[in-house]
Amino acid sequence: MDKYIMQKLASSLDTTPFEWLKGRSYSDSFVICIGAGPWKFTRRRVIQGMALKKLCSRDISEIFRTINWYPLEWQNNFLDSMRKYLINNKITMEKFCSSLNKNEARNKIFSAAGCPHGSKVLSLFCRDVLKVDAFPIDRHVKRFLEEHNLPANEQSMIKICHNAGLDPCEVAVGIVRKASNMDNPDWSE
């Protein structure tokens, strides 16, 4: 795609960053992002709230039982993989996330969560919490991208944004706002 066309598209978007996790710990935020599954707002809020209650303000590294907090197996697997990664490496979620190199953060989060190719919820965490290049793609964003002849692939969209001199996180936020009337529940403190 021509970089000027991409820049024009991006200029029509509201790219104000989401603050739905402002003030939350990395552990709280990760648990909340994992709960941002394929549901509408009300169900999402219930799922996220139940998981947050089970975390009970602890660091993920302080959980010593297998995770079964979410209705979907992949969600439990992501959180349990992260828990095991932290325990095996004798590091807290706070120290792990604080030490991440911006260029490697996405891949390290994906790997630690047992999902080397990533997912929307892990990319949400990267975009909205770690503030590193990420482009979460849900069904609404996918439809928007396809309608604009853009690839529905996170890595491709990050590259297209960089080539156009745009911040991938800002463009991703703008597209999700334009493509969907849905938002994540506000879990900011």
- Assigned domain for 28 exists: yes
How many distinct structural domains can be found in the chain? 1
Structural domain for 152, as ranges: 3-15+23-62+70-179
Lowest mean pLDDT among 20-34, 119-133, 152-166, 170-184: 170-184
Find all residues with CB under 8 Å of 186, minimum gap 6, and list them: 19, 20
User: How far is CA 73 from each of CA 25, 28, 51, 108, 119, rounded to the nearest angstrom?
Assistant: 24, 19, 14, 21, 14
If you search the block for the tokens 């000027």, which residue do you land on? 4
Please provide the distance, in angstroms rounded to a whole number, between the alpha carbons at the two ends of the chain: 40
Is a pLDDT exceeding 70 seen at residue 85? yes
- Assigned domain for 185 exists: no
- Assigned domain for 111 exists: yes
H-run or E-run covering 82: helix 73-88
Count of residues for the chain? 189
- Assigned domain for 186 exists: no
Rg (CA), the chain: 16
State pTM to two decimals.
Answer: 0.94
Counting residues of the chain whose pLDDT is more than 70, the rounded percentage is 99
pLDDT in tens, 12-56: 999 999 999 999 999 999 999 999 988 888 999 999 999 999 999
